[in-house]
């Protein structure tokens, strides 16, 4: 079983092995895990500001008191579709494929819809990231469209609060 806790400034040291493998660097910002110092800067510039900006800060995922990943909300904005947020995550390679991110994502999405009153949740990933696409589908998200980030093709999956509530597996 895994547990969550709020992110702390020094967690970059424990998180570094989670994203410092070839597979993770293909799908997460490769500059973030380029070195321990790069991840420390990424924490300072990205994750720690999220802790201040959101009611639910980024969550460190632990198993047996060891950091195995992180899950977080980003881009919480009011849009035409209502209040929208995106879910991001990184998990240590030794724990991938065990359903941990799917279970953690269900908990976080439940919190987003119930505590943050979000109207829609999204997951963006590269088309080649089969793991993230599988997680999105298991969460009941549907493929929406492709978009481009600096000429990189990105898949977008989403689920509305109404669709979420209709899913029996989320109850």
| Tens of pLDDT, residues 59-86 | 999 999 999 999 998 877 777 878 899 9
pLDDT band at 168 (very low <50, low <70, confident <90, very high): low
Token pair for 156: 């977008």
Instruction: Please state, rounded to an integer, the average pLDDT across all residues of the chain.
Output: 89
Residue 50 confidence (pLDDT)? 82
Q: What is the pTM of this model?
A: 0.89
Query: Quick check: 5 pLDDT over 90?
Result: yes
Asked whether 140 and 170 are in contact (CB, 8 A), the reply is: yes
Give the contacts of 157 (CB within 8 A, at least 6 positions apart): 122, 123, 124, 125, 133, 136, 137, 141, 142, 143, 144
Bridge partners of residue 148, in order along the sequence: 153
Phi-psi region of 90 (alpha: psi -120 to 50; beta: other; left: phi over 0): beta
Q: Which CATH architecture has domain 3-170?
A: 3-Layer(aba) Sandwich (3.40)
Report the pLDDT averaged over residues 134-142. Answer: 96
| Tens of pLDDT, residues 87-127 | 999 999 999 999 999 999 999 999 999 988 899 999 999 99
Domain edges within the chain: 3-170
Query: Quick check: 170 pLDDT over 70?
Result: no
């Amino acid at each position: 079983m895994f547990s969550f806790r709020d992110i702390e400034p020094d967690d970059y040291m424990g998180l570094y092995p989670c994203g410092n493998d070839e597979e993770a660097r293909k799908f997460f910002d490769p500059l973030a895990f380029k070195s321990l110092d790069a991840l420390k800067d990424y924490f300072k510039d990205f994750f720690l500001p999220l802790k201040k900006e959101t009611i639910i800060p980024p969550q460190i995922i632990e198993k047996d008191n060891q950091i195995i990943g992180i899950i977080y909300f980003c881009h919480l904005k009011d849009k035409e579709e209502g209040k929208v947020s995106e879910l991001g995550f990184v998990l240590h390679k030794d724990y991938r494929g065990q359903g941990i991110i799917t279970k953690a994502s269900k908990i976080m999405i439940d919190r987003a819809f119930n505590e943050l009153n979000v109207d829609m949740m999204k997951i963006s990933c590269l088309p080649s990231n089969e793991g993230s696409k599988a997680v999105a589908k298991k969460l009941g998200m549907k493929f929406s469209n492709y978009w481009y980030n600096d000429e990189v093709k990105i898949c977008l999956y989403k689920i509305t609060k109404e669709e979420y509530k209709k899913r029996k597996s989320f109850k």
